[in-house]
Structure 1
Amino acid sequence: MISEAHRGDWGMDIDHWDWVPGVGVISLMEYATVGGQEKVIEYLLQWVNRNKHKADGVKVINALAPFAIFPELYRQTGDPWFLQKAMSTADWMLNTAPVTREGALEHTVTENVDFPEQVWADTVFMAVLFLARMGGLTGESRLADAALRQTLLHLQLLQDPATGLLYHGWNSREGNHMSAVRWARANAWITLAVPQIVMEVQGVADIPEELHSRYSSLAAALRSCQAGNGLWHTVLNRPDYVQETSGSAGIACGFFKGVKNGLLDSSFLDSARLAVSGILPLIAENGQVQGVSGGTPVMPSEEAYNTIEVYPSLYGQGLVMQLLAQELELEDRQL
C-alpha cells in the first residue's frame, strides 16, 4: 500500500488527498490501533506532512475521508494543528457543504462532474465517520447529533423497505433511486461505518432506536444473500453477477464491528469468518487483493455494474486489512 512504485496509479498511489488514499490511511490507522503498530502511526504522521498542502485544494465530501485519522493522531501527539484543522473541516461540513432538500449531505467529488441533490451511500464512510469521531473526541453534542442525523437520513433515503438492502443512491430532485441498484460496496460503506459511528458518539448523544432497527434489518438482508464461499456479488440480488472483494470485506468487517459494539448478535461472526475464508485465497503473494472493482458512480443500469473494470486499489487493500485486523483482534480476545 505504501510503495513508491505505485506513484501515478489512480488505484494504488497513496500520496493524494481524496477518498481512495483516504480509505487507505483509515485502514492503516485501524491496523495500527488494533495491532499496536507504532511504526504505522509514524508513517501516517509522515503521510500527513507530505500531503496536507493538498487538503485545501478542493473541499468536497468524497475528499474528507483522510480527515478521519486526525482525531486519533491528535490523541497520539497532542499537536493542536490536528484538532484545529479537523474542527475547521467539521464546521465546513455543518455550515457550508451543499445539502439536499431533505438535509442530507450532497455527494460531491474531486472529479469535474456534479451530482446535484444526489445522496450516495459512500458519504457515510467518507465524511460522516469523520464527523462522529470529532464528536467523540471533543464531546460536542452538535457534532455527534449531526453525525447521527446524517447516518439515519442516509438509511431512510437509501434503504429498500422490501428487502432491507441499500440502494447505491437517491436523487432528491427526481424523487427516485436512479437505476435502483443494490450495489455491494455501497452497502459495505454503511455496514462498516455505522458501528463505528455509534461507538464514537455513545455518551455524547442518544442513539435513535430507528438506527438500531434499520441496521439490524440491513445486516440480516446482507447475510441472506451471502454466497456459499463467503463473498457477495457486486449486485447483491444477482447471484449470476461477479463477486466483488472490497464490498465483501467491508460487509464482513462491519459484521465484526457490529457484534463487538452490540448492534448485532454473535451469530453474525459466522458470516464474517466465512467471508475471511473466501477472501484469503484472493490475496496474491505480493499482497495485492484481487477481484476489486474500480471506482463506481451510480451507473445507468443494473447491467452496467457487472462491467466495471477490476484492478488493485487502496480501498480494496484497506478494507481487507481492516477485516483481517478485526479477525485477529477477536482471536486475541478469545485466547
Structure 2
Amino acid sequence: MSNQILQPTDSSLIHPLLAHHAAGLGADRADYQDAIERLIHNLINISDPEGKFLLRLDDGRVIDTKSWHGFEWTQGVGLYGIYKVWEMTGDAKAWDIMSDWFEARFKEGMPSRNINTVAPFLTLAYLFERNGNRSYLPYLESWGEWVYSGLPRTEEGGFQHIVYNSVNHQQLWDDTLMMSVLPLAKIGLLLNKPHYVEEAKRQFLVHIKYLADVKTGLWFHGWTFDGRHNFANALWARGNSWVTIVIPEFLELLNLPKDDALRMFLVSTLEAQVKALAKHQAPSGLWRTILDDETSYEEAAASAGFAYGILKATRLGYLPKDFEAMGISAAKAVRAHINAEGELTQVSFGTPVFNSIQEYKDIPLTSMPFGQAMALLALGEFMRRFI
C-alpha cells in the first residue's frame, strides 16, 4: 500500500472537463432556491395601501396594476413567472397560487378586453394543458378568438396596442408580443387552431419590421402609422427585454426545424439584439432603463428579462455559448437586488410610450408583480446551471 499523500492540484491546471460544472458560478444553489421562495411570497403580498399607483378611468373603474389581485399584464407576467417555477420544481404551493388566482378572478367577472388583459391567459392555457379543467376552456376560446378577430388592427394588420385608458390609434408596441401574441400562439396550438399560430407568426414579422432598429439591433418602444415615426426613438430596456424573453419562448413553443425560414429570421433578430446588449451592459451586470443613455438609472426587471432570454437561448442552441457569461453576470446582478423581504428592487413602474427620453428616465421605482416574475424567470433559468 502506498503512503503517498495526495496534494491538491492548482485549479488553473485542471482541464475544464474535470472541473465541477458549477465551480465557476460563484453562487450558492440553496441561496437561489431561498430567493425564489421569497420572491413568490413577496409577489403575492405586494400592496398599494395609499392607492398611489392605481389607474382611475373616466368611467369610474379603478384598475390595480400593482397588487396581486388585479387583472392586468402585471399580474399576467407574475403568473407566468410562478408557472415557470412550478414547471421546473412541481411545487404544489406554486400550483395552488395560480389556480386560486384564476378562481378568484373568474368569480369577480372578466375585465374589458385589451392587449394587456390577455396576458394572464398564457398561463391559463398551460394550466388547462396540464389539468384539463373544462371550466377554463370557454375563457381560452373566447379570449383567443377576440385576439384573432376582434382586436383592433393597424395598417398592415398589426395588433394595435389598445389598453384600458387609451386606444393608441395605429400604434405598435414591443410589449404586445409578450402580452397578446405569445398567448394567441399557445392557445392556437392547444385548441388546434393553426390560423392563430399563423397570425402570431405574422405579428412577429410586422413588429420586427417597424420596431427593430436596423442600425443597432436593439428595439424601439413604439411605432405609429399616424405620422410614421418611433416617438422618442427610445431604446427602452424593459421593452427590449420582452423581445429577449419572447423570441426564445416562441421558438420553443413552435419547435420549428433548424432550416425553417421564420426560425432562422427570428434567431438572427435575437442575436443582433443580444450583440448590441453586450455593448451596453453596465459593470454591475444590469442595464440602464434607456439602454444607450448612461445618465438613466439601472433597471433590474429588464435586466432579469435579458438574463432569462440570453441564458435560455444559449441553453437551447439559438445563440452561441459565447453569450452565456453575459447572462450569468446579469442573473447574479439581479440576485444582488433581491432584498431580505424578497422584493426585487430597482424596478420601474409601468411605462407608456413617450415622446421624450426624459419621461422614461422620470418613471418612479417601485416593487411590481412583473418585476418579481422576471426575477423568477432569471433565477429559475440560472438554477439549471446546478443541474
**Which deviates further from its counterpart, 48-57 or 211-220?**
48-57
Distance 2:80 2:207 in 1: 21
Query: Which runs of no fewer than 5 residues in structure 1 stay unpaired?
Result: none
Identify the residue that residue 171 of structure 2 maps to in structure 1: 118
Distance 2:46 2:338 in 1: 20
The size of the alignment, in residue pairs, is 331
Distance 1:220 1:275 in 2: 15
* Alignment of structure 1 residues 74-113 onto 2, 5 Å: 74-110=128-164, 112-113=165-166
Quick check: 1:233–1:241 contact (8 Å CA) kept in 2? yes
1:193 paired to 2:235: no
Identify the residue that residue 359 of structure 2 maps to in structure 1: 304
Label 1:115 to 1:145 Cα distance change in 2 as closer, same or farther (>3 A).
Answer: same
How far apart are 1:103 and its partner, in Å? 1.1
How far apart are 1:80 and its partner, in Å? 2.2
- Partner residue of 1:213 out of 236, 244, 268: 268
How far apart are 1:229 and its partner, in Å? 1.5
Q: Which amino acid aligns with 1:305?
A: Y
1:165 paired to 2:218: yes
Q: Which amino acid aligns with 1:303?
A: Q
Distance 1:329 1:36 in 2: 15
Higher-Rg structure is 2
* Alignment of structure 1 residues 251-290 onto 2, 5 Å: 251-290=306-345
How far apart are 1:72 and its partner, in Å? 1.4
Distance 1:326 1:139 in 2: 29
Quick check: 2:148–2:184 contact (8 Å CA) kept in 1? no
Distance 1:11 1:56 in 2: 15
TM-score, normalization: structure 1?
0.93
Distance 2:350 2:320 in 1: 32
Identify the residue that residue 234 of structure 1 maps to in structure 2: 289
How far apart are 1:97 and its partner, in Å? 0.3
Q: Which amino acid aligns with 1:3?
A: N
How far apart are 1:21 and its partner, in Å? 0.9
Identify the residue that residue 96 of structure 2 maps to in structure 1: 42
How far apart are 1:56 and its partner, in Å? 3.0
**Which deviates further from its counterpart, 158-167 or 217-226?**
217-226
Label 1:31 to 1:105 Cα distance change in 2 as closer, same or farther (>3 A).
Answer: same
- Partner residue of 1:176 out of 201, 217, 229: 229
Identify the residue that residue 36 of structure 2 maps to in structure 1: none
Distance 2:156 2:226 in 1: 10
How far apart are 1:79 and its partner, in Å? 1.2
Identify the residue that residue 18 of structure 1 maps to in structure 2: 72
How far apart are 1:107 and its partner, in Å? 0.5
Quick check: 2:47–2:66 contact (8 Å CA) kept in 1? no
Quick check: 1:169–1:178 contact (8 Å CA) kept in 2? yes
Distance 1:158 1:5 in 2: 34
Distance 1:97 1:155 in 2: 19
Distance 1:4 1:160 in 2: 36
Quick check: 2:46–2:367 contact (8 Å CA) kept in 1? no
Label 1:261 to 1:211 Cα distance change in 2 as closer, same or farther (>3 A).
Answer: same
Give a deviation string over 1:129-155, Cα, whole Å, max 9, x none. 111212332443212211111112111
How far apart are 1:173 and its partner, in Å? 1.4
Identify the residue that residue 32 of structure 1 maps to in structure 2: 86
Quick check: 1:293–1:308 contact (8 Å CA) kept in 2? yes
How far apart are 1:18 and its partner, in Å? 0.7
Identify the residue that residue 148 of structure 1 maps to in structure 2: 201
How far apart are 1:57 and its partner, in Å? 2.7
Give a deviation string over 1:150-198, Cα, whole Å, max 9, x none. 1121111101100000000001111110111100000001110111111
Quick check: 1:164–1:218 contact (8 Å CA) kept in 2? yes
Distance 2:132 2:371 in 1: 31
Query: Which runs of no fewer than 5 residues in structure 2 stay unpaired?
Result: 1-42, 54-63
Label 1:211 to 1:40 Cα distance change in 2 as closer, same or farther (>3 A).
Answer: same
Quick check: 1:147–1:197 contact (8 Å CA) kept in 2? no
**Which deviates further from its counterpart, 260-269 or 170-179?**
260-269
Quick check: 2:335–2:379 contact (8 Å CA) kept in 1? no
Distance 1:150 1:207 in 2: 15
Distance 2:141 2:257 in 1: 17
SS of the equivalent of 2:223 reads strand
Q: Which amino acid aligns with 2:336?
A: P
**Which deviates further from its counterpart, 185-194 or 250-259?**
250-259
SS of the equivalent of 1:328 reads helix
Label 1:132 to 1:231 Cα distance change in 2 as closer, same or farther (>3 A).
Answer: same
Distance 2:127 2:314 in 1: 26
Label 1:54 to 1:221 Cα distance change in 2 as closer, same or farther (>3 A).
Answer: farther
Identify the residue that residue 328 of structure 1 maps to in structure 2: 383
Quick check: 1:234–1:305 contact (8 Å CA) kept in 2? yes
